[in-house]
Structure 1
Amino acid sequence: MQLTPRSKFLLLLGVFVVPVAAAYLAFFGWRPAGHTNYGDLLKVTPLQQTAGAKHDGAPLDLASLQGKWLMVHVGPARCDADCAQQLYLMRQIRITQGKEQSRIERLWVLTDAGAADPALLQDYPGLHVWRPADATFVEQFPAGDGRAGHIYLVDPLGNLMLRFPVKPDPKRMMKDLKLLLKASQIG
């Protein structure tokens, strides 16, 4: 097929003009959608008053869990349906991280003097059930509509940094956690 002089000129013009026009549009006009977190980013604050005890009375300082990501549920020992759903989500989301799941620990911070149901705890092996020595510890977890409704995330350095919404979407939580684990060189 023989190109006419006009076709050659248009082809040559296209080779040089189209990239310039695309660059101009990309710089001044079209902006790709950025990634937004599903969870609410909190002001990064190191957790204070981390001394306490496990549900069986054995001492546990949360500082010993540093180096791991912590998914945290804060609530009373009497676990209602919402609490059970959160514990279930924390377990399942950890499992879905595959080989990275060893970088994540789960923590249930008890806010009262009650005892957690042993039958419930059998369903969640590896879950740390912990009561702080100082009751003001729980005030570090911000919540406008109740702490027990949220799952919090603490980074490997012991900083509270993320809060997932009440009745969270598990797929979006998994995505946030996967991105954090991928980006993090610690924990």
Structure 2
Amino acid sequence: MGAAVNPPDLSELPDRRKGRWQLILILLMVIGPMVLATLMYKLQFWVPDSRSYHGEMIGDGQTRADIGVQADEQRWQLLVTAPTACATDCRQLVYLARQLQIGLGRDASRASHALASAQPLSADYDARLKAEYPQLQRYVLDLSTFTRNAAAPGEAQLWIVDPHGNLVLRYDATVKGKDLLNDLRHLLKLSNIG
């Protein structure tokens, strides 16, 4: 007679189902957060309303050249733009940029401060800058490029520019120095460049 066939052991079936459920759970744990994050971004739900920075974020890949400033700075830069004469607000921002660089302490060498003006400075202010702000970099602001840029308003602004020349944050003359210093310190802490 033929060999007797043993019936399958039914105790193995639950282990196989258990293994499948474990595999499904592992895949859900790996893929689930990515799917949830994508849906949150696309559908804009559960997105926090608060922010940790005080300026206006420039997150569209614009560079210094897009606002009319040609420079080759390899450090973080506090750039003041003056599309009109450098009056009170502009001068306040130039002073603030210098103070912020000093306020960085041991990280001061990672940043620079600069002024880009569309019009020549008055003789007395120019002399004052040369005497009191020896490290201030100065550039010509191309007014036609500046006015074409939607992110560049018509009054003096202070921009934080990364070492690659990308615009990161923009501030007007009403900014508090402490807030701006906190933003800059946070950026330097997170950055591996510059």
Q: Output the TM-score relative to the length of structure 1.
A: 0.65
Q: Which residue matches 1:105?
A: 112
Secondary structure, in 3 states, of the residue corresponding to 1:147?
coil
Unaligned runs of 5+ in 1: 1-31, 53-60
* Residue 39, structure 1, aligned to residue 48, structure 2: no
- Is the radius of gyration larger for structure 1 or structure 2? 2
* Residue 126, structure 1, aligned to residue 132, structure 2: no
* Larger deviation, residues 86-95 vs 158-167: 158-167
Q: How does 1:15-94 map to 2 (within 5 A)?
A: 35-42=51-58, 43-48=60-65, 61-62=70-71, 64-65=72-73, 67-75=74-82, 78-94=85-101
Displacement of 1:141 after TM fit? Answer: 7.2
Distance in 1, matches of 2:165 and 2:53, equals 20
Distance in 1, matches of 2:117 and 2:99, equals 21
* Larger deviation, residues 117-126 vs 167-176: 117-126
Q: Structure 1 residues 166 and 50 mapped into 2: Cα distance closer, same or farther (>3 Å)?
A: closer
Secondary structure, in 3 states, of the residue corresponding to 1:185?
coil
Distance in 1, matches of 2:66 and 2:111, equals 21
Q: Is the Cα–Cα contact under 8 Å of residues 77 and 162 in structure 2 kept in the other structure?
A: yes
* Aligned-pair identity (%): 30
Task: Tell me which of 161, 169, 194 is aligned to 1:162.
Answer: 169
Q: Is the Cα–Cα contact under 8 Å of residues 76 and 114 in structure 1 kept in the other structure?
A: no
Report the count of equivalent residues.
Answer: 143
Q: Which residue matches 2:181?
A: 174
Distance in 1, matches of 2:106 and 2:133, equals 19
Q: Output the TM-score relative to the length of structure 2.
A: 0.63
Q: Structure 1 residues 93 and 77 mapped into 2: Cα distance closer, same or farther (>3 Å)?
A: same
Q: Is the Cα–Cα contact under 8 Å of residues 40 and 164 in structure 1 kept in the other structure?
A: yes
Secondary structure, in 3 states, of the residue corresponding to 1:174?
helix
Q: Aligned AA for 1:98?
A: G
Q: Which of the pair is proportionally richer in strand?
A: 1
Secondary structure, in 3 states, of the residue corresponding to 1:79?
coil
Q: Aligned AA for 1:169?
A: K
Secondary structure, in 3 states, of the residue corresponding to 1:44?
coil
Task: Tell me which of 172, 186, 190 is aligned to 1:183.
Answer: 190
Q: Is the Cα–Cα contact under 8 Å of residues 55 and 169 in structure 2 kept in the other structure?
A: yes
Distance in 2, matches of 1:89 and 1:75, equals 14
Displacement of 1:45 after TM fit? Answer: 1.3
Secondary structure, in 3 states, of the residue corresponding to 1:94?
helix
